[in-house]
Amino acid sequence: MNEDTRLTFKEMCAKFDVTPRTLRYYEYIELLAPDREGRTRFYGPRERARMELILRGRTFGFALEDIRQWLLIREKEGSQAQMRAWVEMANGQLSELAEKQIQLEQAQAELTRLRDETLKELDD
């Protein structure tokens, strides 16, 4: 592997705007497996791609364990199985987000109603 394609621990944190604690945690739960030379960690293209997928998954609200399991599918069953699993995960998450959206709209409507009632009482 070309040395220039690898990032150090510090460079990885900076590139993905994560704390050292976060990066160490992702390694601890086996989301990432950097190359090690002594105590120094190096992150190649595979680890950087995985980090992008992890962060994207977190943005969509996926649990880290779900992301970890999804990443393992590619290694064990291949990319087609991983894509099928992704569609299932996305469908589930879209359903959850739709439910949360309904709950937020209900909360917003109730808060607006209570605010308007309070304003009316203040005007009276």
Q: Report, as ranges of residue numbers, the positions in the chain whose pLDDT lies below 70.
A: 1-4
Give this prediction's pTM.
Answer: 0.80
Strand 7-8 to strand 40-43: parallel, antiparallel, or no bridges (unpaired)? antiparallel
pLDDT at 2: 52
pLDDT at 5: 87
Which fold does the domain 3-89 belong to in CATH? Multidrug-efflux Transporter Regulator; Chain: A; Domain 2 (1.10.1660)
Measured CA to CA in angstroms, residue 98 lies from 25, 57, 76, 91, 102 at distances of 30, 17, 32, 11, 6
pLDDT tens digit string along 43-74? 999 999 999 999 999 999 999 999 999 999 98
Q: Can you read off the two tokens belonging to residue 12?
A: 């990885």
The residues, ordered by sequence, that sit 6+ positions from 25 with a Cβ below 8 Å of its Cβ are none
Task: Identify whether the C-beta of residue 75 lies closer than 8 Å to the C-beta of residue 93.
Answer: no
pLDDT at 4: 64
The mean pLDDT of the chain is: 94
Other Cβ atoms closer than 10 A to 86: 16
